[in-house]
């Protein structure tokens, strides 16, 4: 039996990058009997960015509704909120003592976020990967379904596990990343990663009109200036999204139409918007239904936290023993 852990920040609306890059795998792995799954809404990570405290409780409820609507079965996985299991922060402190400072300052996410929020380069931005390592190692997880943006952090988590094991004895397995077919979805600008905090997303619960408007403004093949210019579907953002959301015949028609200049970017965008609306409709409807019953969501999260706390206490018992802490 493999143990699986992954997390998502309540830092904005759940978007198609989160879904295609990570959560599709969460749903798939939770449904399989070979995996014991823990999925957490990582609010402790989210507070390293600028945020509004009064909006947080609702964001957590909505994100939980979105994850359930995406198909995550809470009876086959522990779905919980990170701050409700205090062992995450306790283990993070301990792991900080075996983490080289130099490695932390090399992380590209730290550099990017420091540039993005120069007025708030807090120490939590730097130590973020240690908390992520703690999230994973607390459950002694061996598989971590994440997008490409988390690979560097996961490599550091592996090194932290190695260093801890080397110093205090074999305690943690080295976790491996698990990717989907779409580990990096770009934002609507076609340049940066689609990311909640960059505001370049299509949310899973976005209404149809908003989807049409956003896709109309999406980036397309820069070399195709006029409709009569043949395009390059392989490097066109809109054609790329057809691969994931449109039926194969629609995708083939628009790729071919782009290549031969028989269909324009506007046609392709219109078709993509309708495909997305259709693809997302069941998730959107289900999430809106679930959001109308926040008490059920709270019950799900409470049950998940209980399961997570049990596993976390067990690991921390072992860790304290290894560290030689007074008992």
Query: Which residues are at the interface with ligand AQP (CB under 6 A)?
Result: 6, 8-9, 11, 17-18, 21-22, 109, 146-147, 149-150, 183-185, 193-197
Cβ of residue 152: shortest distance to ligand AQP, in angstroms?
Answer: 11
Closest CA to 60 of 138, 128, 8, 135: 8
- The maximal CA–CA distance of the chain, rounded, in angstroms, is 76
Cβ proximity of 172 and 137 under 8 Å: yes
Which candidate in 111, 113, 184, 227 is catalytic?
113
Kindly list the distances between the CA atom of residue 260 and the CA atoms of 110, 256, 268, 324, in Å, as whole numbers in the listed order. 43, 6, 13, 70
Cβ proximity of 224 and 213 under 8 Å: no
Catalytic site residue 196? yes
Cβ of residue 313: shortest distance to ligand AQP, in angstroms?
Answer: 26
Nearer to ligand AQP, 22 or 311 (CB): 22
Nearer to ligand AQP, 8 or 156 (CB): 8
Which candidate in 184, 196, 213, 269 is catalytic?
196
What span, in angstroms and rounded, lies between the C-alpha atoms of 323 and 90? 13
What span, in angstroms and rounded, lies between the C-alpha atoms of 163 and 150? 20
Nearer to ligand AQP, 74 or 183 (CB): 183
Cβ of residue 10: shortest distance to ligand AQP, in angstroms?
Answer: 8
C-alpha 212, offset from chain centre: 24
Nearer to ligand AQP, 46 or 161 (CB): 46
Cβ of residue 257: shortest distance to ligand AQP, in angstroms?
Answer: 26
Position of tokens 């879904």?
19
Eight-state DSSP code of residue 15: B
Cβ of residue 223: shortest distance to ligand AQP, in angstroms?
Answer: 24
Nearer to ligand AQP, 19 or 164 (CB): 19
Which candidate in 111, 191, 193, 214 is catalytic?
193
Is the Cα dihedral 26, 150, 14, 74 positive or negative?
Answer: positive
Q: Nearest to ligand AQP by Cβ — which residue? A: 21
Instruction: List residues with catalytic annotation.
Output: 113, 193, 196
């Amino acid at each position: 039996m493999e143990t699986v852990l992954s997390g998502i920040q309540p830092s904005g609306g759940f978007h198609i990058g989160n879904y295609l890059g990570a959560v599709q795998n969460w749903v798939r792995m939770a449904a399989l009997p070979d995996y014991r799954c823990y999925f957490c809404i990582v609010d402790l990570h989210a507070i390293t960015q600028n945020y509004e405290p009064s909006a947080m409780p609702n964001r957590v409820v909505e994100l939980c509704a979105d994850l359930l609507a995406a198909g995550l079965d809470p009876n086959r996985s522990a779905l919980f909120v990170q701050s409700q299991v205090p062992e995450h922060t306790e283990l993070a402190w301990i792991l900080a003592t075996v983490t080289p400072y130099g490695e932390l300052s090399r992380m590209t996410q730290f550099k990017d976020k420091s540039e993005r929020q120069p007025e708030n380069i807090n120490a939590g931005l730097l130590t973020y990967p240690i908390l992520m390592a703690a999230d994973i190692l607390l459950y002694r997880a061996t598989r971590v379904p994440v997008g490409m943006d988390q690979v560097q952090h996961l490599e550091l988590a592996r090194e932290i596990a190695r260093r801890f094991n080397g110093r205090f004895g074999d305690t943690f397995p080295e976790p491996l990343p698990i990717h989907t077919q779409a580990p990096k979805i770009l934002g609507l600008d076609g340049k940066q990663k689609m990311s909640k905090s960059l505001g370049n997303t299509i949310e899973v619960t976005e209404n149809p009109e908003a989807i049409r408007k956003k896709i109309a403004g999406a980036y397309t093949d820069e070399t195709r200036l006029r409709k009569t210019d043949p395009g390059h579907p392989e490097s066109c953002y809109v054609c790329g999204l057809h691969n994931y959301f449109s039926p194969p015949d629609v995708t083939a028609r628009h790729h071919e139409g782009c290549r031969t200049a028989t269909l324009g970017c506007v046609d392709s965008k219109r078709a993509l918007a309708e495909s997305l609306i259709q693809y997302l409709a069941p998730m959107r409807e289900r999430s809106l239904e679930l959001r109308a019953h926040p008490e059920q969501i709270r019950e799900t999260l409470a049950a998940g936290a209980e399961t997570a706390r049990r596993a976390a206490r067990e690991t921390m018992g072992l860790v304290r023993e290894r560290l030689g802490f007074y008992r």
